[in-house]
Amino acid sequence: MVKRVVTGNYAAAFAAMLARVDVIAAYPITPQTFIVEHLSEFVNDGLLDSAFMRCESEHSAMSACVAASATGVRTYTATASQGLALMHEVLFIAGSAHLPVVMPVVNRTVAGPIGIWAEHNDTMPQRDTGWMQVYVEDNQEVMDMTIQAFKIAEDKRVLLPIMVCLDAFILSHTVEPVDFPDQDKVDKFLPPYRPDHAVLDPKDPMIIGSFSPPEYIQEVRYQTDETMRNALEVVEEVNAEWAKEFGRDYGGLIEEYKTEGADAILITLGTVTSTARDIVDEYRAAGKKVGLVKLRFFRPYPTEAIRKVASKCKAIGVYDRAVSFSAGGPSWIEARNALYGYTIPVINVLAGLGGRDVTEPDIRLMFDKVLEAAEKGEAENEIVWIGTRGVKP
């Protein structure tokens, strides 16, 4: 094992190389560009034996990935923001055809107004495309989850594509120390992809994506729903195996941090989790009973795990870096759905939209709001916008 100081983008690219991807089809977009640039160098330098296609748009890139994956080979791409939006219609095809493409998405605000910084309004609207989504916190997790993503996606009980979501710049362009797993250990962990459900081969013809009348599509939807639910178990298994082989345990669907005895729990996703760990430590030291849940998987959604968390605290806050206008943040909406029938207050805290820095005072305010709700048993404001000029949090 080698430790190097690298960016999240480098970790995402290197992980694809360790996974021995067969096809990479991509189009560059800030802040993801370096992922495909690094990969093109690896291929050029003979380090990676992989077909590399630079396409003319993300729509074409995802179409190429669908076609490549349908021939039964391990397929990879990366994108961000508008690029993901442009892929939108093709994402459904990968999902419904059960093509386990792996795609890091560097979360970047979707225009307008145009910006390049972190927001989750690119990945959140893709939640119903049949793709799994995992949100990561640091560059080590970018590396580890990209490799695990292949194993989860290619599991015969799942066979669904997956997005590994990392925050723009905060991870993509930030260097920090990362353990590089050994190739032979990765090879053992991740055997070659050998599917039989979708393999385009002229010698053994099959039809993929044919015109289908209403007699069939509802069953196809149910298959996607069932395999997405199967993924709940597979994520835990793969996490456990990773922890055993590589010594890093991410908790699976969610990670709990100091939730024992906590009255107020904040559910975060993405990089805000890291700063929130410091604030939990600070508040705990001051005798404030707070805890943290890092929501890792948004699809499949860990309903049971969230319910377990809710049954041991007095109030929950859900952090979102995106908003569904007039309805609240998507992660909060999901949590409230999971917690139907629970009587504790579940509030939404919104911050960091458009890439605005989420500061320590911001996160303290989040915990204060949840603590207040825990104490009173109700919340004055269910949806709290933090750090928005002219809006009282």
Partner 1 sequence: MFEVRFHGRGGQGAVMAAQALASAAFQEGNYAVAFPYFGAERRGAPVMAFTRVDKDKIFSKTLIYEPDYIVVLDDKLTGLVDVADGLKDDGMAIINSNAKPEDIELGKSVKCATVDATTVALETLGQPITNSAILGAFAKATGLVSIDSIVAGIMDIFGSRIGEKLAAKNANAAKVAYERTSVGTCKGTMTYEKGGKWLPDYKELPLGLATRPMKTPEGLVGPGSFVDNKTGSWKTFAPVHDPDKCIMCRMCWFYCPDGAIKEVGEGDAKTLEFHLEYCKGCGICANECPKDAIKMER
Strand order in the sheet with 162-167: 51-54, 23-26, 75-76, 102-107, 162-167, 132-135, 297-299
* Residue 202 engages partner 1 in binding (rule: CB under 8 A): no
Contact pick of 44, 57, 212, 337 for partner 1 (by CB under 8 A) = 212
What contacts 352, CB < 8 A, 6 or more positions away? Answer: 118, 119, 272, 321, 358, 362
Are the CB atoms for 74 and 18 separated by under 8 Å? no
Interaction of residue 53 with partner 1, rule CB under 8 A:
no
CB of 280: closest distance to partner 1 in angstroms? 43
Neighbouring residues of 213: CB distance < 8 A, sequence distance ≥ 6 = none
Give residues 68-97 in contact with partner 1 (rule: CB under 8 A). 70, 96-97
By CB under 8 A, residue 204 contacts partner 1 = yes
Find the helix or strand (DSSP H, E) in which 26 lies: strand 23-26
Q: Is 216 among the residues that bind partner 1 (CB under 8 A)?
A: yes
Binding mask 160-199 for partner 1 (x = CB under 8 A): -------------------------------------xx-
Q: How far is the CB of 216 from partner 1 (least distance, A)?
A: 6
Q: Using CB under 8 A, which of 205, 247, 287, 390 touches partner 1?
A: 205
Q: What distance in Å separates the CA atoms of residue 233 and residue 107, rounded to the nearest whole number?
A: 26
Q: How far is the CB of 334 from partner 1 (least distance, A)?
A: 25
Selected from 51, 208, 243, 333, the binder of partner 1 by CB under 8 A is 208
**Do 107 and 79 touch, CB atoms closer than 8 A?**
no
Distance (Å, whole) CA 61 – CA 47? 22
> If binding is defined by CB under 8 A, does position 159 make contact with partner 1?
yes
Residues engaged in binding partner 1 (CB under 8 A): 70, 96-98, 159, 197-198, 204-213, 215-216, 219-220, 222-224, 226-227
